[in-house]
A and B are shown apart, each in its own frame.
Chain A
Amino acid sequence: MTESLGTTGLVLNEPLLWEKDTPGREGFSLPHGDVDSCPVEEALTSQSPDFPDLSEVDVVRHYTRLATWNFGVDTGMYPLGSCTMKYNPKINEKMAGLRGFAGAHPLLPQALSQGLLKLLFELECFLSEITGMDAVSLQPAAGAQGELTGMLLIHAYHKSRGRKPSKIIVPDTAHGTNPASAALCGYRPVPVQSNEQGILSSEAIAEVMDEDTAGIMVTNPNTLGLFEENVQEIAEIVHAKGGLVYGDGANMNAVMGIIDAGRIGLDVLHLNLHKTFSTPHGGGGPGSGPVCVRSHLEPFLPVPRVVKENGSYHLSEDFSRSIGKLHAFYGNVGVMIKAYSYILSMGAENLKKASQLAVLNANYVKERLKDRFHLPYDRPCMHECVFTDRSQMAHKVMTLDMAKRLMDYGFHPPTIYFPLVVNGAIMIEPTETESKQDLDLFIEALRRIADEAEHHPEFLGQAPSKCKVKRLDEVAAARKPCLAG
């Protein structure tokens, strides 16, 4: 093997912010007090909040040291399944930071916000074009809020037809957030198992679909990384009983420029701009979760909507059947600017190519590892592949141990123990921005780990050994929560 990416170097310790507190230090350039001071009524005031006093240097060193304890896509391969950790183009950060965008107040008179309204309008058009759906709302702040919006749209649609279904079908290969989003609309999730091929069968859906069911939530490609081949037939079954089909588009990175969601029969589909459209994940957000709908759901979309009239753009609340607002303003515009920049940089051809390469990368990893790791569904995958720890269990080595050991080799671990439909799942999504050379290193590392599992299983239980900290006691953290200092 070539030299491992993972190594150790000098990493500095850094205390908590308040352990560095030195009263009287300042880290902020305070503007001059050029007007008379005007005290607030005594009864209204109290002590200042107990923030540590630090200098600018203290703050800069603190966060610079913390940053070195983290691993990001810019550091190396981050094959977290279902999260689409692709490269985040740097130019897009600059675009979102342009003064006119970053400094825009959301309630500016609309004549002063034309540049942004045009951008939002065009982004909606682009997403509609890419998905094959008729209309888009950019308002949901992340994928789960997009799901909730989708559920609210379905709820409003049924209500407008005098129907009050109580259930919704959620397959075992759907995303983890789906049942919780459905529950917010009062829908009871009806679980359905995927078949021996890892996908939904039309028969299984026909068996549970009835008039008291609002519809189905389909993640496609599903969380096993497999395309739901029967999705069209399933949509027909659901529609025939008055239900609607919700598409979880978190895995859209596999199928841009390939599928037509409208043709498939999806009624509503959410996207994750922070997955498919390259905006950074920020250590857990901010994201953006637009919803795309077919025309029969358009009247229910959140307000305000961006409307173009006579060459200018305005925000309109004039949609009486709308489900209302999901966000204080228009959603995470800063994130949308980055996605817009990405789409403009890529164009249709490169977006399609991105999906093709994402799928090629996943299949390559699958083929090169399946002799060492148990592959529960040995068939062509989309953008991710799912292995298990079955072969290593004989040596008492579990998925968790192998994931931790990957860190020592310089890789972020894949998603583990998800999807739940597979025991000890190892869910690998390389994304299209990893080169063959990087994939080869990753594959080699995992093969080495498979060797280690056979010959030095006790060693893996101790991993990682090269990170800032060793394995952390999560049980103690939950048993006696210490959530603030």
Chain B
Amino acid sequence: MRYLPHTPKDIESMLEAVGVESVDALFSTVPDTCRRTRDPLLPEPLTEWELNGLMEGMSRAVGAPPEYKVYLGAGSYEHHIPHALSYLLSRSEFVTSYTPYQPEMSQGTLQAIYEYQTLSCRLLGMEVANASLYDGASALAEAMLMAVRITKARKVALSSLIHPHYRQVVRTYFQPTGFELIELPRLPNGRTDFSSLDDAGDLAAVAVQSPNFFGCVEDLAVGAQKAHEKQALFITAFTEPLAYGLIKNPGSLGADVACGEAQSLGIPQSFGGPGLGMFATQMKHVRNMPGRLVGQTTDLDGRRGFVLTLATREQHIRREKATSNICTNNSLCALAAAMYMASLGRTGIRELAQLNHDKAEYLKRGLVRGGFEIPFESPTFNEFVAAFPAGKDDIYQRLLKKKVVAGLPLAPYYPELTDHYLFCVTETKTRKDLDELIKEITS
């Protein structure tokens, strides 16, 4: 086996150095009753070439772009990824290293993550970002727990327009804690209804997603005001951070924590993971933050360098009183996002965000012309909800046969929204693609 370098001669001389007769004798401390009674039943080992063939076959049994035109967003976005990124991300010094516990030998990762933290702050309008969490959903759950730690209140409010899966994950994290969780209803315009907050009692946090699950841009300033009136932290989530290339960022509108999924920034979709939990807040909350942090310092000669810092918040030091149990996070994905943000620049992100918006609006207008209803009037970024006209139920299935995935049916998440579909259009779709979709869907 090519990954195992030992020759029989090596093994023999090593056993001799150890002073045992056989490899089995090394396991003398494992009682017989703990041992397997038979070998695991696994397929016979494959050669590299057999593996290639098998995996390529399996990967072809997935409906992915460009063969399929996929108009799905809802937490995972198809964007062009510059080839330079994939190339740089295969640098084994980044890929095959671990958490930079030894900074003198890890300055590459450390500076890159410090830059990621900085660019994340600039994107979200916040003061401090951590080195990454697992994904948008667990980032939101961690934010809610952080708010409980800070405010000591035992109840949190979540908008019902936050990604349904994120709300489920928050429930899972909250289940054993005994903290209460309430959901805020939605307004007919596709935004969160904050009015019920007045009677909600003491709250640790008010959480809202913008653009929300329907693609609508929320009125964050109103949410922030309402939350702060209740002495609660205002937590804004996101699934499509590219939007902040165009629309106001959460920090400028009063967010205390901005967190979410940043897969959109140069990370392949990979069936939903690994993505990137981006998490940012204000410096006054830094000691209550979950996750790793990289800070700037100097070496013995006074030169600039970077280290993991404020570790006293973390599990390996603070044990059960840590701000989170997270250890391994999604560092390589954070690196990808930093590279992506650096490749776009302030000029590129604006243009790309505008392009996403324009293309989504183009499809929206085309569908309206074809008799579709746009049920929520609030402005959107690159996703929107459209209601199929009555008697057009077969369109979705018909298009699927033509290798087009025409949006996400919303009824499984919001049962009252039968015939409603969530469409996403990014820069990967051309006008020709959109014209064809409009023609098919409205004919």
Contacts and interface: CB of A to CB of B under 8 A. Distances in A.
A1 interface: no
A477 B31 CA distance: 48
A34 interface: yes
A119 B117 CA distance: 35
A319 to B, nearest CB: 13
A243 interface: no
A357 B98 contact: no
B215 interface: no
A160 interface: no
B26 A179 contact: no
Interface residues of B, number: 200
Contact of B331 (A41, A132, A284): A284
Contacts of B343: 27-28, 54, 56, 59
Interface residues of A, number: 200
Q: Main SS of the interface on chain A?
A: loop
Interface in A426-482: 432-436, 462, 464, 467-474, 476-478, 481-482
A333 interface: yes
Interface in A45-70: 45-46, 48-54, 56, 59-60, 62-64, 66-70
B230 interface: no
Interface string A239-283: 000000000000000010111100110000000101000101111
Contact of A148 (B62, B301, B325): B325
Given A40-B379, A334-B273, 17 more contacts: A27-B84, A45-B246, A48-B347, A68-B93, A86-B3, A87-B3, A145-B134, A188-B320, A189-B319, A227-B27, A229-B31, A284-B292, A286-B329, A328-B273, A364-B14, A464-B105, A469-B305
Contacts of A332: 134, 270, 273-274
B319 to A, nearest CB: 4
Contact of B134 (A83, A327, A352, A382): A327
A328 B84 contact: no
Nearest to A333: B271
Interface string B109-128: 10111110111011100011
A282 B26 CA distance: 32
Contacts of B390: none
Given A17-B342, A115-B58, A404-B104, A78 B268 contact: no
A26 B93 contact: no
B107 A66 contact: yes
7 contacts: A105-B271, A113-B62, A179-B319, A283-B98, A332-B273, A367-B18, A478-B310
9 interchain residue pairs of minimum CB distance: A329-B272, A112-B63, A106-B272, A100-B59, A282-B332, A115-B61, A347-B45, A284-B331, A72-B96
B151 interface: no
A144 B307 contact: no
A289 B319 CA distance: 20
Contacts of B35: 258-260, 263
Interface string B44-64: 111010011011111111111
A483 B344 CA distance: 23
B254 to A, nearest CB: 14
Given A93-B90, A180-B319, A186-B177, A467 B104 contact: yes
A355 to B, nearest CB: 9
B300 A344 contact: no
Contact of A353 (B4, B94, B100, B296): B4
Contacts of B165: 325, 328-329
Nearest to A265: B34
Nearest to B270: A334
Interface in B318-351: 318-322, 324-333, 335, 338-339, 341-351
Given A116-B271, A286-B274, A472 B134 contact: no
A223 to B, nearest CB: 11
A116 B335 CA distance: 26
A106 B270 CA distance: 8
